[in-house]
């Protein structure tokens, strides 16, 4: 059996930037064990699989070790494959996922993803969260990740956490954030529990970050930058209980998987 595979740099305007994701279009679902084996062999933070479903597409995301409920950059990559390589003619794609229906709209400025917002709330920090830090946080919050706010962008860039301690935490991962110098806010995202020590650009984390910073800064339209080695820019727009995330994507590689 052979299936096509694309490797896409998401939230990027040139290769070697943004967040790489693998995308595998399928005509029908194959065994979950095979999906996980493919993701493990790809060894990227996410591999996306989608299947046509009436006028929509069923979409699932796998890290090298787990299936996850929501992934922004691999959704962007999947939409890019449909628009660029699979001759999808409409301007809006509807993906059916574990997090509900997700819409991706083709805009002049990039691909706009409509995701559910999740407002972080202050929490008492677990011991291992604080022990894993090498700096005192300004605030600790949680949604589906722990959110650590630091004083400024330089502190986020310089952070060197003890990821072994963070691997034991209850939530999905740890997102560190601060006000930006040339953007509204910056972040770095760590998911050692999912065998992804630091994710280059994490769309789903901005479902938590954008509502928080919109409230702090008093504005609903924000620009964000993730300070990984590859870096990436994300446009964020708050609309009620939804977050519109906009970014670009570029091809890195195309091939076939044989098994």
The tens place of each residue's pLDDT in the chain, 259 residues long, gives 899 999 999 999 999 999 999 999 999 999 999 999 999 999 998 999 999 999 999 999 999 888 999 899 999 999 999 999 999 999 999 999 999 999 999 999 899 999 999 999 999 999 999 999 989 999 999 999 999 999 999 999 999 999 999 999 999 999 999 999 999 999 999 999 888 899 999 999 999 999 999 999 999 999 999 999 999 999 999 999 999 999 999 999 999 999 8
Alpha-carbon span 74 to 85, nearest angstrom: 16
Counts of helices then strands in the chain (DSSP H, E): 6, 18
* List of E strands, the chain: 2-10, 19-25, 47-53, 56-62, 67-68, 92-97, 100-107, 110-116, 121-122, 139-142, 146-149, 174-179, 185-191, 196-199, 221-226, 232-239, 242-247, 249-258
Active site residue 198: no
Phi-psi region of 54 (alpha: psi -120 to 50; beta: other; left: phi over 0): left
Q: What is the CATH number of domain 2-106+247-258?
A: 3.10.310.10
Determine which one of 46, 112, 149, 208 is catalytic: 46
Q: Are 193 and 173 in contact (CB under 8 A)?
A: yes
Residue ranges covered by each domain of the chain: 2-106+247-258, 121-240
Q: Is 50 helix (H, G, I), strand (E, B) or coil?
A: strand
Alpha-carbon span 111 to 5, nearest angstrom: 20
Residue 232 C-beta-side C-alpha neighbours within 13 Å: 32
Please give the pLDDT value at position 128.
95
Q: Are 24 and 5 in contact (CB under 8 A)?
A: yes
Domains 2-106+247-258 and 121-240 share a fold: yes
Place of tokens 């979409």: 59
Q: Which CATH number fits domain 121-240: 2.40.70.10, 3.10.310.10, 3.20.10.10, 3.40.50.10490?
A: 3.10.310.10
């Amino acid at each position: 059996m052979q299936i096509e595979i694309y490797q896409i740099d998401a939230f990027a305007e040139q290769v070697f930037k943004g967040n790489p994701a693998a995308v595998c279009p399928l005509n029908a679902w194959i065994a979950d064990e095979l999906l996980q084996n493919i993701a493990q062999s790809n060894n990227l933070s996410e591999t996306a699989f989608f299947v046509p479903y009436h006028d929509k597409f069923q979409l699932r995301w796998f890290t090298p070790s787990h299936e996850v409920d929501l992934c922004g950059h691999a959704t962007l990559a999947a939409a890019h494959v449909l628009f660029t390589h699979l001759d999808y003619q409409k301007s809006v794609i509807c993906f059916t996922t574990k997090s509900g229906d997700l819409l991706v709209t083709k805009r002049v400025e990039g691909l706009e993803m409509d995701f559910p917002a999740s407002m972080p709330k202050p929490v008492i920090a677990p011991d291992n969260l604080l022990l894993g830090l090498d700096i005192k946080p300004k605030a600790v919050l949680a949604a589906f990740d722990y959110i650590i706010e630091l004083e400024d962008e330089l502190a986020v860039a310089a952070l060197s956490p003890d990821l072994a301690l963070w691997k034991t935490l209850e939530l999905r991962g740890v997102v560190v954030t601060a006000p930006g110098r040339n953007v509204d806010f910056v972040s770095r995202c760590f998911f050692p529990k999912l065998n992804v020590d630091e994710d280059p650009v994490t769309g789903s984390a901005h479902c938590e970050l954008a509502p928080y910073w919109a409230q702090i800064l008093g504005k609903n339209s924000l620009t964000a930058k993730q300070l990984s080695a590859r870096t990436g820019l994300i446009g964020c727009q708050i609309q009620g209980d939804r977050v519109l995330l906009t970014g670009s994507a570029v091809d890195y590689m195309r091939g076939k998987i044989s098994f």
